[in-house]
Amino acid sequence: KVYFSYVDIHETMSSLVPQILEFNPSVIIAIGGGGFIPARILRTELKIPILAVSLELYDDTNNTTKPEVKKIQWFDEQSEVGSKVRNQKILIVDEVDDTRTTLQYCVEEVINTNNPSEIAVAVLHNKLKPKRGILPDTVTYFSGADVEDHWNCYPWDA
């Protein structure tokens, strides 16, 4: 197990801000639960709205991975910000890119339902390992830190 503090996480997310500002997204899509706090940290500096989605691959009750991603909640496409995802540059935020399954699902879902003009993904940690999920070449990828394939313990899991 590897433990990370809120300070570690804040510094790692903040280190991504210059590159993300260059990409210049107009909306963040935060993948919850883990992506909510990293997205909120970015919002302080990016000053753009957050849309929340909730996706579940990992089952906390018995520490196993489910065969497929479960869509718990998607953002409100009729809302003022949600309706603007179409034809905009968007930034998808999650805490950890493990097998990449969740990110692939989220990217495909947002392309199919809302067709943004460009997509970037920002994760706090990218685990260095073979990935199950694939992201299209057109997606810009930002990782705060590349980490070994261990179990990361985040402060919100405490």
Contacting positions for ligand 5GP (CB under 6 A): 34, 57-58, 94, 96-102, 151-152, 154, 157
Nearer to ligand 5GP by Cβ, of 61 and 78: the residue is 61
User: How near is the Cβ of 80 to ligand 5GP at its closest, in Å?
Assistant: 27
Q: Is the dihedral of CA 60, 64, 65, 71 positive or negative?
A: negative
The residues that bridge with 32 in the sheet, in sequence order, are 54
Contact status, residue 85 vs residue 28, Cβ threshold 8 Å: no
Residue 6 or residue 22: which is nearer to ligand 5GP going by CB? 6
11 vs 157 by CB, closer to ligand 5GP: 157
Q: Rounded to an integer, what distance in angstroms lies between the CA atom of residue 136 and that of residue 119? A: 10
Q: Taking the CA of residue 155 as centre, how many other CA atoms within 13 Å lie in the half-sphere pointing to its CB?
A: 10
Q: Rounded to an integer, what distance in angstroms lies between the CA atom of residue 114 and that of residue 137?
A: 19
User: Which of 76, 98, 137, 149 is flagged as catalytic?
Assistant: 98
59 assigned to active site: no
Element (H, E) at 21: helix 17-23
Q: How far is the CB of 152 from ligand 5GP (least distance, A)?
A: 4
Q: Measured from the CB of residue 107, what is the shortest distance to ligand 5GP in angstroms?
A: 12
Query: What residues are annotated to the active site?
Result: 98
